[in-house]
Amino acid sequence: MTGRAMDPLPAAAVGAAAEKEADPQAADLPTPQAVEPQVIVQRAPAPSRMQMPQGNPLLLSHSLQELLARDTVQVELIPEKKGLFLKHVEYEVSSQRFKSSVYRRYNDFVVFQEMLLHKFPYRMVPALPPKRMLGADREFIEARRRALKRFVNLVARHPLFSEDVVLKLFLSFSGSDVQNKLKESAQCVGDEFMNCKLATRAKDFLPADIQAQFAISRELIRNIYNSFHKLRDRAERIASRAIDNAADLLIFGKELSAIGSDTTPLPSWAALNSSTWGSLKQALKGLSVEFALLADKAAQQGKQEENDVVEKLNLFLDLLQSYKDLCERHEKGVLHKHQRALHKYSLMKRQMMSAAVQNREPESVEQLESRIVEQENAIQTMELRNYFSLYCLHQETQLIHVYLPLTSHILRAFVNSQIQGHKEMSKVWNDLRPKLSCLFAGPHSALTPPRSPPQSPPEDGLCPH
């Protein structure tokens, strides 16, 4: 049955047959709630009477700038509220597009994601960071805040999600029962397949070699994900080294200050050099200011690379991971159910043939015929869903490629951070260099180290003027 072209079902038949899909234990996708047939007929008239849209609706026409301009959502921690047993972490979620600011807890994000999966099972719904009940330290809470911010921004910039009522409710509803509001908005609506006018015609827009293209695209994006994962790990280490460098510079300066602040009296046999030691201590004590400034510059560079480089890499990785999850849902969900429905249909056909050979009662034969017709409708619906899933996958693949220029943003942020960081630190190092002359000053010129010849600079790179 899958090898021949099939006449698309009317939308009402699609809705009725969708309730008779294969064994629910094999389903990996959220099952949409039942929709009244008359409602479906009003929303989606029979495909034979449907006007075809201009152009190919399969193709996306969005640019990265357009997607990024849809909205910018901030997710910030608010002071913890202590419950009877646990501390509750809340977030202030602010949307630039809706000019709203609402308070949300982690479970609100969970329900929000569930409703997205319910309505858009064939789209890239990003994953949420894990929930950690006990022992959530500051580092974990901050990492989760960043992940929630990436999640909601990817959703708010998705061409379909950004226009859905679920997103608007999540970003702008200020009541205390936001979870119930989100669930109510998805009740009696069904998923995208049931509401999209082109769902039963998706096959008409797909290329003949869609399965081969899907396999190639999946492999390409898997390779991109692996490479960007390594880039993210290296960027994290670079940023972490900058922060560690800041801590080392600060300690280095403090130790110099400790030497300069040492009040231990000199022994009598060292009295001849007491003035030299005093000058040296005074010079070392003053260097701690410059090293503290160097530490501050290094810390700023590390934080900037975390925010502008690592976070953007994580954002792109979250998007790529959502594509990988979508591919798995396609294979384990609708495609698997389609195969099970075909297997069930073949078993029924064999039973029908066996009943005809054994000359069973007409009633039992009629029941088998009725079941076979129902199974044929279910198979046809699953085949339509399979093509619609591939249709959505084709569009989501394009969306991944729309986001690919984000690479240039990331590289530009990385290069600018390195240039700015080294430029600022170089200025401090240059300001520090003249102060080193005090380290060699003394009451007698003999204590001043001889000037090195021009052709052989000192090994430490410092010019002892």
Q: Are residues 168 and 255 in the same domain?
A: no
C-alpha triplet 373, 376, 377: angle, nearest 5°: 90
How is residue 275 written in tokens?
């003035």
Tell me, what's the pLDDT at 260?
A: 84
Tens-place pLDDT, residues 225-255: 999 999 999 999 999 999 999 999 999 999 9
With residues binned 3-state (H G I as helix, E B as strand, rest as coil), the percentages for the chain, rounded to 5, are: 65, 5, 30
Domain, as residue range, for 336: 240-263+276-439
Cross-strand bridge partners of residue 103: 92
Task: Name 91's bridge partners.
Answer: 77, 104
Which residue in this structure is represented by tokens 């979870």? 179
- Contact present, 108 and 178 (Cβ < 8 Å): yes
- Other Cβ atoms less than 10 A from the Cβ of 419: the count is 10
Q: What is the pLDDT of residue 333?
A: 73
List CB contacts of 226: < 8 A, sequence separation 6 or more: none
259 and 399 belong to one structural domain: yes
- Residue 52: predicted pLDDT: 38
Domain count, the chain: 2
Does residue 177 sit in the same domain as residue 314? no
Q: How many CA atoms lie within 13 A of 394 on its CB side?
A: 22
- Assess if residue 100 is contained within a domain: yes
Give the distance between the most distant pair of CA atoms in the chain: 125
User: Beta strands 81-82 and 100-105: pairing type?
Assistant: unpaired
Asked if residue 127 is part of any domain, the answer here is yes
Q: Are 412 and 440 in contact (CB under 8 A)?
A: no
Give the span between the Cα atoms of 290 and 101, in whole angstroms.
Answer: 42
- DSSP 8-state symbol, 123: S
Q: Are residues 258 and 176 in the same domain?
A: no
68 with 145, same domain: the answer is yes
Calculate the dihedral angle through the C-alpha atoms of 129, 130, 133, 136, rounding to the nearest 10 degrees: -60
Whether residues 113 and 169 share a domain: the answer is: yes
Q: Which two tokens stand for residue 84?
A: 């009877």
Neighbouring C-beta atoms of residue 60, cutoff 10 Å: 16
Torsion angle in degrees (nearest 10) through CA of 363, 367, 369, 373: 150
Q: How, if at all, do strands 87-88 and 81-82 pair?
A: antiparallel
Residues 159 and 244 in one domain: no
Does residue 4 sit within a domain?
no
| Residue 226 placed within a domain | no
- pLDDT of 9: 36
**Do 178 and 324 belong to one domain?**
no
Q: Are residues 331 and 421 in the same domain?
A: yes
Provide the 3-class DSSP secondary structure of residue 296: helix
Give the pLDDT score at 25.
37
At 32 the pLDDT is: 39
* Residue 86 belongs to a domain: yes
pLDDT of 1: 37
Pairwise CA distance, residues 111 & 454, whole Å:
72
Are 177 and 305 in the same domain? no
**CATH number where 369 lies:** 1.20.1270.60
Look up tokens 């005809």; give the residue.
356
**CATH number of the domain encompassing residue 143:** 3.30.1520.10
The string of DSSP letters for 53-105 reads PSS-TTS----HHHHHHH--EEEEE---EE-SSSEEPEEEEEETTTTEEEEEE
Q: Which pLDDT value is given to residue 33? A: 39
B/e letters for 31-42, b = 16+ CB within 10 Å, e = fewer, are: ebeebeeeebee
- Domain-located, residue 75: yes
Ramachandran angles phi, psi of 111, nearest 5°: -65, -40
Q: Is residue 259 located within the same domain as residue 383? A: yes
Unique residue bearing structure tokens 């003053």: 286
10 near 49, Cβ under 8 Å? Answer: no
Asked if residue 131 belongs to a domain, the reply is yes
Burial class of 404 by CB neighbour count within 10 A (0 to 12, 13 to 18, 19+): exposed
pLDDT of 381 reads 80
* Residue pointed to by tokens 């400790």: 258
Q: What is the DSSP string of 319-337?
A: HHHHHHHHHHHIIIIIHHH
Predicted TM-score (pTM) of the model is 0.75
| Residue 40 resides in a domain | no
Which of 136, 160, 192 terminates a domain? The answer is 192
CA distance 53 to 47: 12
- Look at residue 60 in the predicted model and tell me its pLDDT: 86
The Cα 320–Cα 276 span in angstroms is 64
Closest by CA position to 465, among listed 444, 446, 437, 443 = 437
The answer to whether residues 252 and 337 belong to one domain is: yes
Nearest to 124 by CA among 395, 405, 401: 395
Closest by Cα among 128, 125, 65 to 91: 128
Beta bridge partners of 25: none
Which pLDDT belongs to residue 55?
A: 67
Residues in the chain with pLDDT < 70?
Answer: 1-55, 80-87, 133-136, 269-275, 334-375, 438-465
From residue 360, alpha-carbon distances to 177, 347, 348 in Å are: 59, 17, 15
Distances (CA, A) of 213 to 134, 170, 207, 372, 382: 45, 36, 9, 34, 21
Tell me, what DSSP letter sits at residue 34? P
